[in-house]
Amino acid sequence: MTAMISTNAQPGTASSDAAARNSARPDAGRVFRPEVQALRALAVLLVLVYHIDPSVLPGGYVGVDVFFVISGFLITGHLWREATTTGRVSLRKFWAARARRILPASLVATVGTILLALVLLPLELIDSWWRQALASVLYVENWALAVDAVDYQAANNQPTAFQHFWSLGVEEQFYLFWPLLVVLAVVLWRRTGGRRPGASGEPAGPAGLRVALLVLFGSVTVASLVWGVLEVRAGNPTAYYSTLTRVWELGAGGIAALLVRDGARPGPVRNALAVAGLAGIVVVACLYDDATPFPGLYAVVPVLATLAVIVAGRTSGPGSMRTITESWAVQRIGDVSYSLYLWHFPVVVFFAVHTGRSPRPPEVLAMVALSFALAIASYVLVEQPVRRARYFRHDGRMLIAALLAMALVAGTALLLPARANAIMRPWDDRAATVAAEASARVAAGQVGDLSPFVDGRVAIYPNPQRIADDKFPGTEDCLVNGLEHETPACEYGETENPAATVALVGDSHAAQFTEPLLEIAAERDWRVVTYLHGSCPYSIDRRTSDDPALVEGCAAGNAQTRQALRELEPDLVLTSFLERTAMEPRGDEKVPGATGLAETWRELTGDGAQVVVLRDTPLPKADAVRCVTDNYSDPQVCDQTREEAIGGRQKVPAAAALAPGTKVVDFYDLFCTESRCPAVIGNVMVYMDQNHVSRTYMHVVTDRLRQELPAGP
């Protein structure tokens, strides 16, 4: 969010009118800019609407980009004024001012959210929430989300109430290094003829300093933009959150602060720039969506639109939007925009957590009203008092207070895992009592009538609250995100003199079979090579998706795998995939994707491989882990109906009918009765998330797989 520059001048007064005439001059004093305040109001409203209902403004996320440009402009202007007025930049003063402006409201919002989470948050969400709370306090939330984005099994995590702090992380990191560039430029300027104000001799003037800053700022800005474009084109999921791909937006505002002058532009030009800029922001907010490759080149449009409004300055006369932009309502929303950004997202997320659905119109109004009420309270009771308090005007005192407050709030975040641990310790103890027996029973396929508990012992292994750690192997290095264009090849088993070479191909649902297959391979001296690409069924046909980058990533990865299999010449190919994945249809094909799958399998058999298609495992309820957590003693209420778990799967049977040399194997009886598919079987937690089986329970397929696979392909 932006750093608001305070002043006593208010819109509509003589003092503010005078200030506005020089508002864009780099060497002007601190002034109030009503057009920037209006930009803040627009930006926060775009983000608010987007988070409550993305279908209304699918590109409302560009409001964050507007904030970035404003921050770069105002902060650079502040640094420029200090450098040209005093001949130096006080880092302590600058960082204390940023702490005074940013920290109080953000830390109070963080504490409030943590306290609400202690009371209202479902247990299974605590792990991700407390980690992101801590990352938010340290202003590294953007990097925490970037790490999750490349972790396939974390990429689909539900958003936490701290996720919006990613933009604050970008800005705080900008505030750390940007003034260092100014300090460097001041040193260079003074060494090449610049003078401190008041020093003997005629000063060289600020032109040299401006040139030095433009070179430094321009280099960083161009490098960041180029890097962002490359990262987005490569489909790197970290690009959205990375400071490296975002700092150019703040840099563009900084460059504008050094170049913008109001005097040379007549009124009609100002008005045209302002209208074009505001219209550009609104248009992209309506036209962009989550499938837009962003930030990259697409971010240039909202950045330039924001700069147009800033360059226009305060407008007047025919065509001016001053009546709207300087209205009481718009300016007051601008006042509370920072606190509104902080508080609206927890309101949205807590609603989603406890209802699991989109809000209805009356609920939307209530959420908006609550968000504004919290924002106003934060502005009046936190932001303003701290900024005006004489005690905190001492820079050193402010910095010490900021560090102590951050440490205190970080400690508060640890209350969340403490609460979870108080509940999980007994569950850990119960899990330990059945772990060995339950694992052995599952591995032997002795699951009986698929009842949740054996011998009446109410114990679940693994602990449902630790089930995310029960991942199938290879998720770090051998299973890549679908956005990637390369599929890794990972080799296991007997590599020197194998009895046979076996390939495992497909998406994360194929990856579930890795460990059972490796157990069999060890018994039979097989060499196993995996080609696993998340969200990408292995097929000649393309999958469909609202995300073009995912479609292209899958197509490129499958093409690479196709060539690799030709070179590998495997004796046996096992393949599996999430069967509900939509595929591009061929003409009037009755089952879209079946023809492409059949051609893929026939190609493999034509190259001499035996092909075994492993039917996808049954799907649980979307909230199975949460349900089991809430119903530990009676997990049967979390069972999925058989129809919902495996119904509607037509692609594999249709494809197998077109590829008669292919063998199809299913394991449904190990997961489902004739009517239901349990979430807990034989004291074992079956699922680790909304569509993957836990590593422990997946061993249930080993013996069946051993029987179905040829002994010596």
**How much helix, strand and coil, in percent to the nearest 5, is found in the chain?**
60, 5, 35
Determine the Cα–Cα distance for residues 712 and 523; give it in Å rounded to an integer.
11
Domains of the chain in start order, with CATH, are: 14-413 (no CATH), 433-708 (3.40.50)
| Strand, coil or helix: 615 | coil
Q: Cα 257 from chain centroid?
A: 31
Determine the Cα–Cα distance for residues 144 and 136; give it in Å rounded to an integer.
9
Taking each helix axis as running N to C, give the angle between helix 243-259 and helix 165-191, from 0 to 180 degrees, rounded to the nearest 10. 50
| Strand, coil or helix: 691 | coil
Distance spanning both ends of the chain, measured CA to CA: 61
| 89: CB partners within 8 A, 6+ apart | 79, 82, 83, 179, 182, 183, 186
| Strand, coil or helix: 500 | strand
Give the position of tokens 């075994």.
612
Angle at 609 between CA 578 and CA 596, to 5 degrees: 45
Q: Which pLDDT value is given to residue 31?
A: 65
Q: Which pLDDT value is given to residue 264?
A: 54
State pLDDT tens for residues 254-273.
Answer: 999 999 875 556 678 888 99
Closest listed residue to residue 257, CA positions, set 18, 429, 421, 30: 30
Q: Which pLDDT value is given to residue 412?
A: 95
Determine the Cα–Cα distance for residues 469 and 466; give it in Å rounded to an integer.
6
Is residue 167 a contact partner of residue 145, using CB atoms and an 8 Å limit? no
Determine the Cα–Cα distance for residues 543 and 528; give it in Å rounded to an integer.
26
- The beta strands (E) that lie in 534-568 are given as none
| 350: CB partners within 8 A, 6+ apart | 116, 120, 161
For the CA atoms of 384, 386, 392, 397, the dihedral, rounded to the nearest 10 degrees, stands at -140
Q: Which pLDDT value is given to residue 406?
A: 95
| Strand, coil or helix: 291 | coil
CA atoms within 13 A on the CB side of 213: 29
Q: Cα 655 from chain centroid?
A: 36
Helix (H), strand (E) at residue 699: none
For the CA atoms of 701, 704, 706, 709, the dihedral, rounded to the nearest 10 degrees, stands at -110
Q: What pTM was computed for the model? A: 0.75
Determine the Cα–Cα distance for residues 474 and 508; give it in Å rounded to an integer.
10
Helix (H), strand (E) at residue 67: helix 62-86
Determine the Cα–Cα distance for residues 165 and 703; give it in Å rounded to an integer.
48
Whole-number Cα distances in Å, 271 to 311, 329, 350, 713: 10, 21, 42, 76
Q: Which pLDDT value is given to residue 592?
A: 94
Whole-number Cα distances in Å, 262 to 281, 313, 544: 22, 7, 50
CA atoms within 13 A on the CB side of 366: 6
Is residue 285 a contact partner of residue 312, using CB atoms and an 8 Å limit? no
Categorise residue 377: left if φ over 0, alpha if ψ from -120 to 50, beta otherwise.
Answer: alpha
CA atoms within 13 A on the CB side of 476: 2
CA atoms within 13 A on the CB side of 459: 19
Determine the Cα–Cα distance for residues 344 and 113; give it in Å rounded to an integer.
11
Ranges of the chain whose pLDDT falls below 70: 1-31, 150-157, 193-205, 262-266, 474-475, 712-713
For the CA atoms of 215, 217, 223, 225, the dihedral, rounded to the nearest 10 degrees, stands at -130
Helix (H), strand (E) at residue 566: helix 548-568
